[in-house]
Amino acid sequence: MKKALFAVTAITLVLSAGSAVGADLPSSKGPVAVPPPPPIWTGFYAGLNAGGTFGGGGGVSVTHLDANPDAAASAALSGVANTDFAGFIGGGQVGYNYQFSPVFVAGLETDIQGVVGNGGSPAFSSVAAGALNPANIYSGNGYVSQSFDYLGTARARAGYLFTPTLLAYATGGLAYGWTNLSHTVFGNVTNGGALVGVSYGNVNTSSTQVGWTVGGGAEWAFAPNWSAKLEYLYYDLGSYNIGAQTQGVTLNTRATLNGVSLVSGQFHGNIVRVGLNYRFNFDPSAPIVAKP
């Protein structure tokens, strides 16, 4: 009996010592896998933006067709205007992103912003001697002005994550805006220094122009739920053609010689702006921790 008890005790001590030694030996298992960071860019967002818009007017063509048979009357009231635009913009945007890999993000965004500013310069200031009667000197002055009440876009975005919190992206899609255009023209005819005829015309028109936009930017997720962006867009709202009726009269004969000034050009330009976004479902894939 004593021998059996001794044997059991000895076996127990040997097994305990083996377990203790095994615990001190290095493990043959590899390092514990760390899960990748959650896709923090997936979800809806909304924010504000502010910046400037510039360029775009370029050359606006003014072609005058006068009832006066002398071609100089039409030439004097025709020209090209430089209506490059500059103004301040500010508004808001909403959108949705989907992060479909550790480095790629795609989404949709729409925005709208008001515009303060306009573009315009004298369209022309010209003098022409009469073709039928060189003693008649025709001169003309004109003005073209264009402005926007608002600009909006609806765009797709696709970007690459240089770091988990820094996104560089390209964007493009629809652009639209409420545009205003005005044209005023003055003309006169002198003979021997004496004023013998005058003409005047004016037109103002407003409309919604629809076109396209393309650009790119960078966005930085600087805090949970918050990100800041810097963005450039080029927009083209298409062309326009309007006509300003002109009324003219010869002072000596009181004859009426009317005409029309045809104005054609494009609404296009550049936008540079900064923005601030709030992402509503930051860290949507974070694991759920069970309560003890």
Whether 44 is covered by a domain: the verdict is yes
Residue with structure tokens 């409309």?
Answer: 207
Determine, yes or no, domain membership for 196.
no
Q: Residues 50-61: pLDDT tens digits?
A: 999 987 666 788
Number of structural domains in the chain: 1
Dist. CA 108–CA 65, nearest whole Å: 48
pLDDT of 30 strictly over 60: no
Alpha carbon distance 157, 145 (integer Å)? 34
Is 77 a domain residue?
Answer: yes
For residue 252, tell me if it sits in a domain: no
pTM for this predicted structure: 0.78
Q: What are phi and psi of 18, to 5 degrees?
A: -65, -40
18 belongs to a structural domain: no
The 10s digit of each residue's pLDDT in 74-109 is 888 888 877 777 889 999 999 999 999 999 999 999
Q: What is the DSSP letter of 87?
A: E
User: Can you give the residue range of the structural domain that contains 125?
Assistant: 40-186+202-241+261-274
Q: How far apart are CA 281 and CA 66, in angstroms?
A: 65
For residue 182, is it within any domain? yes
Residue with tokens 């103004």: 87
Computed over every residue of the chain, the mean pLDDT equals 82
Residue 143 has which token pair? 């003005």
* Beta-strand runs (E) in 71-135: 79-82, 85-99, 104-129
The pLDDT, as a whole number, for residue 1 is 45
In a domain, 13, yes or no: no
Least confident piece of the model among 38-42, 133-137, 182-186? 38-42
Residue 134 lies in a domain: yes
Stretch 263-287: mean pLDDT? 80
pLDDT of residue 172: 98
Tracing tokens 């000895």 back to the chain, one arrives at 10
What CATH number has the domain bearing residue 86? 2.40.160.20
Distance from the Cα of residue 237 to its chain's centroid: 11
